[in-house]
C-alpha cells in the first residue's frame, strides 16, 4: 500500500481549481477507484459519471495527467504516482460539475446523419467480409474521448461545421453497410465538414475500443467524397452500382 496525491478538478462551467486529495492506494486499483475512495472518505459531493467500471459504458472519460482516458480502465500502476496525479474533466465539452461534462452536443450533431436505409425488398443476405468491415465501427461505446482530443473540435467553442471522429465512424458504419442505399456524401462534404480533418490521428490513439478511426473510417470516407465531387466518372459508377 502507498499514499498518492490526486489533484482533482472541482468546479463548474464558470471555473474551478484543482484540489488535493490523499488516497491509500492498493494493488490493482484504477483511477476510478481512487475517485470513489475520495468520494467515500473526503468529498461526498465530488461529481463524476460512471456506470459499468468495465470499459463498456463510455461514461467515465476524463483527462488523467493530461491524457484523455477512461478512468475505469486506467490502472494506477501504469502511471507515475511518485508525483501528484491530475484528474480533469474532458476539455472539449462544457463542465457540468467537477469531472462530469455536458456531451449533448454530440447527440445534436448526430441528427445530421441520415439513418440506416435498406434497399427496398432486400433479402438481408450479407457477405461475411462486409459484416466484418462495419463490425469494427459498431464497437464504439460513445465515450467521446476521440471528440475530446480532436483539435478541430477542441479549439472551436461553437463546434459548427465538423461532426468529429465519433460521428464520422458512425457515418462510415452506415455508408459501408452493403444493404444501405442512402447517400451521406453531401452531408460529409458540407455540414459534416470532413475536409477539416487533417489526419492527425489523435482520435485513433485515444480510442479505448482500438477502432482504426482514421485509416478505416475517415480516410475511406474522404476518398468517397473526393470521388463524388472531384472525379465525376468514379462518382457516376458508384451511384450506378452502389458502394
3-state secondary structure at position 139: helix
Q: How far is the CB of 57 from ligand F3S (least distance, A)?
A: 23
Alpha helices by DSSP H, the chain: 31-41, 104-110, 128-135, 145-149, 151-154, 164-175, 185-189, 202-206, 219-230, 232-241
Running DSSP on this structure, what letter comes out for residue 208?
A: T
Burial class (CB in 10 A: 0-12, 13-18, 19+), 211: buried
**Site for ligand F3S contains 109 (CB under 6 A):** no
Q: How far is the CB of 125 from ligand FES (least distance, A)?
A: 35
Instruction: By CB under 6 A, name the one of 142, 178, 201, 219 that touches ligand SF4.
Output: 142
**Site for ligand F3S contains 203 (CB under 6 A):** yes
CB 118 within 8 A of CB 180: yes
**Site for ligand F3S contains 200 (CB under 6 A):** yes
In what side-by-side order are the strands of the sheet with 61-64? 15-25, 2-12, 85-88, 61-64, 67-70
Of 53 and 112, CB closest to ligand FES? 53
Of 25 and 177, CB closest to ligand SF4? 177
Q: What DSSP element (H or E) covers 220?
A: helix 219-230
d(CA 27, CA 37) in angstroms, rounded, equals 14
Partner in contact with 207, chosen from ligand SF4, ligand F3S, ligand FES, none, beta carbon below 5 to 8 Å by kind: ligand SF4
- The alpha carbon of 163 is separated from its chain's Cα centroid by a whole number of angstroms, namely 11
State the number of binding residues for ligand SF4 (CB under 6 A).
Answer: 16
d(CA 57, CA 193) in angstroms, rounded, equals 28
Partner in contact with 142, chosen from ligand F3S, ligand SF4, ligand FES, none, beta carbon below 5 to 8 Å by kind: ligand SF4
Q: How far is the CB of 40 from ligand SF4 (least distance, A)?
A: 28
Instruction: By CB under 6 A, name the one of 29, 197, 217, 225 that touches ligand F3S.
Output: 197
Of 140 and 194, CB closest to ligand SF4? 140
Q: How far is the CB of 183 from ligand FES (least distance, A)?
A: 34
Enumerate binding residues for ligand SF4 (CB under 6 A): 140-146, 165-166, 169, 206-209, 211, 213
Amino acid at each position: 500500500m502507498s499514499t498518492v496525491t490526486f489533484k482533482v478538478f472541482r468546479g463548474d462551467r464558470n471555473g474551478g481549481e484543482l484540489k488535493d486529495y490523499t488516497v491509500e492506494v492498493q494493488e490493482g486499483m484504477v483511477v476510478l477507484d481512487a475517485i470513489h475512495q475520495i468520494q467515500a472518505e473526503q468529498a461526498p459531493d465530488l461529481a463524476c459519471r460512471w456506470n459499468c467500471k468495465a470499459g463498456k459504458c463510455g461514461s467515465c472519460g476524463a483527462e488523467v495527467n493530461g491524457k484523455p482516458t477512461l478512468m475505469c480502465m486506467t490502472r494506477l500502476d501504469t502511471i507515475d504516482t511518485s508525483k501528484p496525479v491530475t484528474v480533469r474533466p474532458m476539455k472539449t465539452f462544457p463542465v457540468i460539475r467537477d469531472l462530469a461534462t455536458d456531451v449533448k452536443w454530440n447527440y445534436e450533431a448526430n441528427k445530421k446523419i441520415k439513418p440506416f436505409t435498406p434497399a427496398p425488398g432486400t433479402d438481408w443476405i450479407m457477405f461475411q467480409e462486409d459484416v466484418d468491415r462495419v463490425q469494427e465501427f459498431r464497437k464504439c461505446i460513445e465515450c467521446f474521448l476521440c471528440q475530446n482530443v480532436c483539435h478541430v473540435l477542441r479549439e472551436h467553442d461553437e463546434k459548427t461545421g465538423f461532426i468529429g471522429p465519433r460521428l464520422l465512424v458512425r457515418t462510415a458504419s452506415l455508408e459501408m453497410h452493403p444493404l444501405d442505399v442512402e447517400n451521406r456524401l453531401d452531408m460529409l462534404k458540407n455540414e459534416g465538414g470532413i475536409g477539416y480533418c487533417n489526419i492527425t490521428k489523435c482520435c485513433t490513439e485515444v480510442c479505448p475500443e482500438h477502432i482504426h478511426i482514421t485509416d478505416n473510417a475517415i480516410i475511406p470516407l474522404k476518398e468517397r467524397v473526393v470521388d463524388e465531387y472531384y472525379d465525376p466518372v468514379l462518382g457516376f459508377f458508384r451511384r450506378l452500382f452502389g458502394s
